């Protein structure tokens, strides 16, 4: 088990090299077998009944299954995934983990997630967790006022943070240019994780406690009686259930339309972009996550490279046809 982290790093590096080489076999698939010990060909037959059905085998579905298993519901829970676990939007996520959120409930959720990542890592179970800290930048006085408000809230939310000058920000991350900055806020407890790696680890642990996972199993209808879900129809058969959890992520709204009457899920997918540089000599592995909130961009270190992306306030809707654009 202690070698899993090293296997992940090797597989992750090889798989990134495979894109320009045009290799068909993904190194992540090799790690999948090492982490889970199973493949789609070894799935048992779909049960006729399960107390809980989770729709979606991404990191959200994996987390729900893991926590249900910890609570003793493992043998009563199944995950139905239309493709392969962790290979939807989870695989594309940038893995930023920041404690400051709009609500106290979200703050607590993030703090509990960080505690879970640390606990799994201590047990030799890989999540990619790295507490590198985060640095958010202010180009305007208004943004700096927001940061001062965050600093004031940090005491009640048990978050360590520090207001910094442009010069102090550059000391924390020498890569940034500070000529147009007013200041920033430094949160040392923030970090990054690997969503795909975390997903497989959580699913593996959930399976160990009785959860069954069915890949390449598409839900075609959610059956209800008197306003309650009582089963799902899938490409592999029908399963009766008492509880249904929609963890479809990108397709959650479409899943809501599979029941009658429809469940209106108030979200729709949008397009965002990120780039991955070539290896940068001398790049520190503990380079903090940097967010330029006024420029709507972020970047982080990732395996000796820079991963940078945007979060446009008015992103282009992605009216999906069943595929990730």
What is the tens place of the pLDDT at every residue in 202-249?
999 999 999 999 999 999 999 999 989 999 999 999 999 999 999 999
| Fold of the 50-95+194-267 domain | FAD/NAD(P)-binding domain (3.50.50)
Round to whole Å and give the CA distance between 11 and 280. 19
CB 135 within 8 Å of CB 298:
no
Instruction: Calculate mean pLDDT across residues 48-67.
Output: 97
Q: For the chain, give the mean pLDDT.
A: 87
**CA dist 11 → 34, 42, 248, 275, 280 (Å):** 11, 23, 27, 20, 19
Go through the chain and tell me how many residues it has. Answer: 325
pLDDT at 316: 86
pLDDT of residue 321: 61
Residue the block writes with tokens 């990191």: 59
Percentage with pLDDT > 90 across the chain: 74
Domains 50-95+194-267 and 129-192+270-310 in one fold: no
The CATH code for residues 129-192+270-310 is: 3.30.9.10
- What is the C-alpha to C-alpha distance for residues 6 and 24, in angstroms, rounded to an integer? 22
CB-based contact 272:315 (threshold 8 Å)? yes
The rounded distance, in Å, linking the Cα atoms of 162 and 136 is: 11
Q: Is the pLDDT of residue 324 over 60?
A: no
Nearest CA-CA partner of 254 in 18, 20, 56, 63 = 56
Instruction: Give 299's strand partners.
Output: 290, 308
- Domain spans, the chain: 1-28, 50-95+194-267, 129-192+270-310
Instruction: Single out the residue of 60, 68, 86 nearest to residue 243, CA to CA.
Output: 68
- Of 262 and 26, more confident: 262
pLDDT at position 26, please? Answer: 44
Residues 43/30, Cβ–Cβ less than 8 Å: no
Is the separation of the CB atoms in 303 and 16 below 8 Å?
yes
Give me the pLDDT at residue 91, please. 83
Digit-coded pLDDT (tens) for 84-118? 999 888 888 999 999 999 899 999 999 999 999 99
Give pLDDT, residue 24: 29
| pLDDT value at residue 318 | 80
Question: Is there a contact between 164 and 133 (Cβ–Cβ < 8 Å)?
Answer: no
State how far the Cα of 157 lies from the Cα of 160, in Å rounded to an integer: 9
3-state SS record for the chain = CCCHHHHHHHHHHHHHHHHHHCCCCCHHHHHHHHHHCCCHHHCCCCCCECCEEEECCCHHHHHHHHHHHHHHHHHHEEEECCCCCCCCHHHHCCCEECCCCCCHHHHHHHHHHHHHHHHHHHCCCCCCCECCCEEEEECCHHHHHHHHHHHHHHCCCCCCCEEECHHHHHHHCCCCCCCCCCEEEEECCCEECCHHHHHHHHHHHHHHCCCEEECCCCEEEEEEECCEEEEEEECCEEEECCEEEECCHHHHHHHHCCECCCCCCCCCCECCCEEECCCCCCCCCCCCEEEECCCCEEEEEECCEEEEEECCCCCCECCCCCCCC
Cα Rg, the chain, nearest whole Å:
21
Instruction: Enter the tokens of residue 266.
Output: 């108030």
Residue matched to tokens 């790295």: 130
pLDDT at position 21 is 29
């Amino acid at each position: 088990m202690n070698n899993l982290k090293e296997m992940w790093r090797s597989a992750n590096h090889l798989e990134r090299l495979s894109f320009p080489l045009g290799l068909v076999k993904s190194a992540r698939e090799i790690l999948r077998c090492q982490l889970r010990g199973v493949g789609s060909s070894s799935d048992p037959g779909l049960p006729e009944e399960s107390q809980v059905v989770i729709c979606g085998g991404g990191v959200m579905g994996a987390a729900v299954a893991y926590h249900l298993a910890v609570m003793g519901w493992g043998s009563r829970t199944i995950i139905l995934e239309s493709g392969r676990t962790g290979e939807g939007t989870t695989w594309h996520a940038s893995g930023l983990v920041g404690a400051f959120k709009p609500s106290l409930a979200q703050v607590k959720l993030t703090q509990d997630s960080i505690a879970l990542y640390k606990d799994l890592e201590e047990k030799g179970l890989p999540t990619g967790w790295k507490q590198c800290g985060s640095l958010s930048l202010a180009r305007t006085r208004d943004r700096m006022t927001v940061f001062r408000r965050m600093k004031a809230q940090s005491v009640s939310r048990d978050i360590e943070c520090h207001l910094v000058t442009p010069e102090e920000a550059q000391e924390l991350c020498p890569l940034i240019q500070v000529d147009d900055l007013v200041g920033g806020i430094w949160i040392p407890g923030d970090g990054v994780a690997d969503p795909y790696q975390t997903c497989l680890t959580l699913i593996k642990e959930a399976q160990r406690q009785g959860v069954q996972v069915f890949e390449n199993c598409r839900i075609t209808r959610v059956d209800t009686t008197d306003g309650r879900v009582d089963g799902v129809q899938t490409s592999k058969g029908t399963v009766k259930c008492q509880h249904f959890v929609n963890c479809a992520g990108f397709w959650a709204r479409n899943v809501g339309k599979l029941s009658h009457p429809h469940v209106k899920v108030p979200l729709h997918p949008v397009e965002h972009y990120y780039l991955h540089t070539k290896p940068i000599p001398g790049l520190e592995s503990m380079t903090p996550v940097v967010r330029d909130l006024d420029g709507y961009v972020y970047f982080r270190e990732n395996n000796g490279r820079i991963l940078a992306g945007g979060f446009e306030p008015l992103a282009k809707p992605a009216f999906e046809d069943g595929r990730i654009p």
